[in-house]
Amino acid sequence: MSLRKIITYPHPVLRKKAEPVTVFDKELEQLVVDMAETMYDAPGSGLAANQIGELRQVIIVDVREADEAKNLHVFINPLIVAEEGSVTDVEGCLSVLEYSSNVKRAQKVRVSALDVKGKQFEFEAEEWFARALQHEIDHLHGKLFIDHISSLKRTLYKKKLKKLLQEQEEAA
Ligand SMILES: [Zn+2]
């Protein structure tokens, strides 16, 4: 197992589209293990392969409460096949430093995906789980949650981030 570095905005790899997975082998299993280790270490409740620089359609989600046992879900080549309702709630991202904002998402989604062995399955999720799935699937298409907020808010965030990165550089 190895911990991978989480790439942060505005790195260009986060804007690239991930390719569908076609080979289901030990290497893919290792990628999922590394992603899980990286996500739990962060800690976060979801991670897309793009975020560690792997342009493959792999996402993982675990929306358990802090005091609950790990409950890892792996989705390969995930596709949202149905969605219902809408709900606005606060969202953040391991790749978007020091920021969170309200984002409107479908309340319920049905996802079609493959498991790590290449077996197809369908999965229904609501509320936080549905939000996490939509957020992570966005990553696979080079999209970030800040693309869902107003351009004014985004401009303010970019300014804040620039200042933050400058301060980090000066401190280094
Ligand atoms: Zn994210």
pLDDT, position 66 = 79
Tens digit of each residue's pLDDT (9 = 90 or more) over 52-69: 999 999 999 999 987 899
CATH ID of 12-171, from 3.40.50.12660, 3.40.50.450, 3.90.45.10, 1.10.645.10: 3.90.45.10
As a whole number, the mean pLDDT across the chain is 96
pTM: 0.95
Output the CA 156–ligand 1 centroid distance in Å: 19
d(CA 47, CA 49): 7
Residue spans of the domains in the chain: they are: 12-171
Tens digit of each residue's pLDDT (9 = 90 or more) over 146-165: 999 999 999 999 999 999 99
pLDDT, position 87 = 97
Which residues of the chain are under the pLDDT cut of 50? Answer: none
Among residues 68, 136, 167, 169, the one annotated as catalytic is: 136
Judge contact between 75 and 111, C-beta under 8 A: yes
Output the CA 169–ligand 1 centroid distance in Å: 24
Output the CA 112–ligand 1 centroid distance in Å: 20
d(CA 24, CA 104): 34
Let me know if 29 is a catalytic residue: no
Output the CA 66–ligand 1 centroid distance in Å: 19
